[in-house]
Structure 1
């Protein structure tokens, strides 16, 4: 079967033979996996943030009068700010990567139907 120039370019870019069987795939998990990793990091950071303040609670009482208490308070505030930023970025990445996974997954379905239609010799037909 002869493919149009556009299909031949798609096959060439994917490293696939002109038969249409190749490596051009978006599904299978990389984007979903990356989104899951971002969510896992957000969740872990949230747990760490929850433990941070209680861990510092007794320091101010037990070390009253020492100059290190002020420094520890500054460090606590700095870490709370950083962890909040990490949580926010991870939440954003989870959503954005999940959206890409969904869009590329849907694209795979559309492309697969198009390829099947070409292989079947018809327009828009499923095999």
Structure 2
């Protein structure tokens, strides 16, 4: 099964690199956004299987974006993943309180890591 993924990050360079990596590993990136408003509109339209959300989006909090996505799009928390260059230990309480499946460091981003975090047992594209 091809997993349909959406990326939310304020870095155009990261969005380009993450899209290339995930698509090379079998995901279909159905959209990107760099702000909360953009993310809510585009996620609502694209209905992805998973949304990867950067913790820091310029002046906006990725945790606020996750809450808005859960409330305004109806996307289940099990499909939302926080990503960051920061260490998980520094964000543990915020992650636990957020409506997300969990956290993935940007340095460990891969299709397999996203599938494991989402609990996707299909194994499709899980070759990395």
TM-score band w.r.t. shorter chain: under 0.3
TM-score, normalized by length of structure 1? 0.22
- Decide which structure has the larger Cα Rg and report it: 1
TM-score, normalized by length of structure 2? 0.22
**Which one has a larger percent strand, Structure 1 or Structure 2?**
2
